[in-house]
Amino acid sequence: MTALILVDIQNDFLPGGALAVPKGNTIIPIVNSLQTQFDLVVASQDWHPKNHASFASNHHKKQEFDVIDLNGTNQVLWPNHCVQGTHGAEFSSELNTARIAAIFRKGMLTQVDSYSAFFDNNKTHHTGLEAYLKSMQVTEVYVCGLAADYCVYFTAKDAKAAGFNTFYITDATCYIDETSYQTAINDLTENGVQLIKSTDINL
Ligand code: VGL
Ligand code: ZN
């Protein structure tokens, strides 16, 4: 069984949003047209309380994009984004949600960020995605969405580590920072994640 994971295709990560990923909107038509090829489509949703420790606004004398030590882990401080219940946290209205069978929310614990759709950044809490995919007999996972160098990267890395044959769809994701994107795709390749273009998918 094959699954497509739609990572964080939310208003705040799209042009005009609080943490807009450049050209992020361009992936939506690609993602919409891909969905019918998969046995299963799932989505993740970044879903922060407004006092979340990843927000620069919750730290004294810190600026957006500063990096701090948060309980022993490097943490980029982000603009407030994907706050629970806000418009910015909603999926894009252009995203076809009709085939999304399950939504896995992440980033709710105030003291730890959660890039991967599988675990928080300290790997102490599962979202349930791994058990869900395995219960559905999924063996092959395709990852797309936003952002390429953060949540899509960590989701693909954890999918591979969980034993799924994992594909990262390069033209169905966009990055925040080019340098971190290069580091991410090198690391994915070293870890056996396959990079693929949407036009090469024929399931
Ligand atoms: C993300 C930064 C903070 C993402 C989420 O979805 O890539 N990036 N929260
Ligand atoms: Zn976030």
Ligand that lies nearest to the alpha carbon of residue 44, given by its number in the listed order? 1
- Buried residues in 125-158 as b, exposed as e (16+ CB within 10 A): eebebbebbeeeebebbbbbbbbbbbbbbbbbbb
Say if residues 105 and 127 touch (Cβ distance below 8 Å): yes
The active-site residue out of 113, 144, 149, 151 is 151
Residue ranges in the chain modelled with pLDDT below 70: none
37 CA to middle of ligand 2, Å? Answer: 29
Long-range contacts of 161-165 (CB under 8 A, 24+ apart): 161/191, 162/118, 162/130, 164/133, 164/138, 164/139, 164/140, 165/139, 165/140, 165/141, 165/194
Is 8 in the active site?
yes
As a whole number of angstroms, the distance between CA 129 and CA 154 comes to 13
Residue nearest to atom 8 of ligand 1 (CA): 150
Q: Is the CB of 46 under 6 A from ligand 1?
A: yes
* Torsion sign over Cα 83, 180, 77, 19: negative
The pLDDT score that the predictor gives to residue 133 is 98
The pLDDT score that the predictor gives to residue 128 is 98
**136 to each of 56, 82, 162, 177, 193, how far by Cα in Å?**
39, 29, 14, 35, 21
The pLDDT score that the predictor gives to residue 153 is 98
Residue nearest to atom 2 of ligand 1 (CA): 150
Is 174 in the active site?
no
* Torsion sign over Cα 143, 118, 184, 77: positive
Domain edges within the chain? 2-47+90-200
Class of 2-47+90-200 in CATH: alpha beta
Q: Which ligand 1 atom sits nearest the alpha carbon of residue 149?
A: 7
The pLDDT score that the predictor gives to residue 200 is 96
Q: Is the CB of 41 under 6 A from ligand 1?
A: no
Is 144 in the active site?
no
